Amino acid sequence: MSRQLIFILIALSVAIPLVIRIGLPNEVTSEVMHVYEEIDRLEAGSVVLVSFDHEASSLPEVKPMAQAILHHCFAKKLKVIGLALLAEGTAVGEQILRATADEHQAVHGQDYVFLGFRPQYQAAILGMGEDIRRVFPEDYSNTPLARLPMMRKVKNYEDICLIISVSDGDMPKRLAVATTAVMATSFYPFLSSGQMVGLLGGLKGAAEYEMLIKKPGMGQRGMDAQSVCHLVIILLVIAGNVGYFMKKPSTVGRPPSAAKAK
């Protein structure tokens, strides 16, 4: 099978389900349910920190997750502090936070703030543990934090109920992570040890969270495309193996080195 044909099959398997909805039923995994329950049990007025630690390349995957979580936070009347520990997360994070806040009539400075970006994330994370104002003296719109009503009672992590990292790479109190599917496996040891409350893995995580908050979005739409795409790849792998076994029956079951030696 030519490479061009494979590329066309993949393009069609992604594009067609995005246009024509299949509506395959999705199930909520315990990791996603734990994030939902953690946010849901917080009282109105509790402070949640959402860190946009991703690059623009993973936007189609992380944006639906960030939107779903922020919709839940604002619907629960939680106070949201947004920030970015990767430069490209700044513009993306600020836009997602502002757009979602506007939908819920949340007021900047009272219900949410966006602190912007700080380089060298290890130093920024450790510094915020001591005093957020020292790392971020002003927010993204250059307003001193002391002048923002919701930041007057927030000094460090002790005043924050939950930290959510929306990330596309490896990355403290109670932490939930929303990351790309490819990076999700990296977080299972922390989930198992109880260092993390829950995990949203890629578009599937977004789709599951959208189901929980009953607000369908790009996550659920994308799962049909991802299902068909995975199926096409599996069929391609099976076809490739069928071709391989039909072509070289004598080498079947032998390690490549033995087959080569023969």
Partner 1 sequence: MQRTIPIIVCFVFGLFMLIQFFVPHRISVSAYQTVLDWMQIVFVFTLLVGVISYAKLNAKKVTRTQTGWGYNLIGLVGLAVMVILGLWKGTGEKTAFLWTFNNLQAPMQSTMFSLLAFFVASAAYRGFRARSWEAGLLLAIAIVVMLGRVPLGSFISQWIPDAANWILRTPSMAAKRGIYIGIGLGTISTSLRIILGIERTYLGGK
Contacts (CB under 8 A) with partner 1, residues 142-171 = none
Site size toward partner 1, by CB under 8 A:
71
Q: Are 51 and 85 in contact (CB under 8 A)?
A: yes
Report if residue 118 touches partner 1, rule: CB under 8 A.
Answer: yes
Measured from the CB atom, the residue of 49 and 228 that comes closer to partner 1 is 228
How many CB atoms lie under 10 A from the CB of residue 13? Answer: 19
Q: Are 168 and 183 in contact (CB under 8 A)?
A: yes
Q: Provide the CA 216 distance to its chain's centre, in angstroms.
A: 16
Taking phi over 0 as left and psi of -120 to 50 as alpha, with beta for the rest, 16 belongs to alpha
Report if residue 16 touches partner 1, rule: CB under 8 A.
Answer: no
Only one of the segments 145-153, 158-166, 171-179, 228-236 lies at the binding site for partner 1 (rule: CB under 8 A); that segment is: 228-236
Q: Give residue 128's identity as a one-letter amino acid code.
A: M
Nearest to 202 by CA among 97, 99, 60, 90: 60
Measured from the CB atom, the residue of 32 and 161 that comes closer to partner 1 is 32
Q: Are 44 and 80 in contact (CB under 8 A)?
A: no
Separation between Cα atoms, residue 5 and residue 97, nearest integer Å: 41
Report if residue 107 touches partner 1, rule: CB under 8 A.
Answer: no
Only one of the segments 38-46, 145-153, 157-165, 231-239 lies at the binding site for partner 1 (rule: CB under 8 A); that segment is: 231-239
Q: Looking at 249, 255, 261, 262, which residue binds partner 1 (CB under 8 A)?
A: 255
Q: Give residue 69's identity as a one-letter amino acid code.
A: I
Report if residue 91 touches partner 1, rule: CB under 8 A.
Answer: yes
Separation between Cα atoms, residue 72 and residue 103, nearest integer Å: 12
Q: Looking at 134, 147, 152, 173, which residue binds partner 1 (CB under 8 A)?
A: 134
For partner 1, the binding residues in 66-85 under the rule CB under 8 A are none
In the complex, least distance from residue 160 CB atom to partner 1, rounded to whole angstroms: 18
Report if residue 195 touches partner 1, rule: CB under 8 A.
Answer: no
Nearest to 100 by CA among 128, 79, 71: 71
Q: Looking at 37, 45, 95, 147, which residue binds partner 1 (CB under 8 A)?
A: 95
Only one of the segments 70-78, 105-113, 115-123, 150-158 lies at the binding site for partner 1 (rule: CB under 8 A); that segment is: 115-123
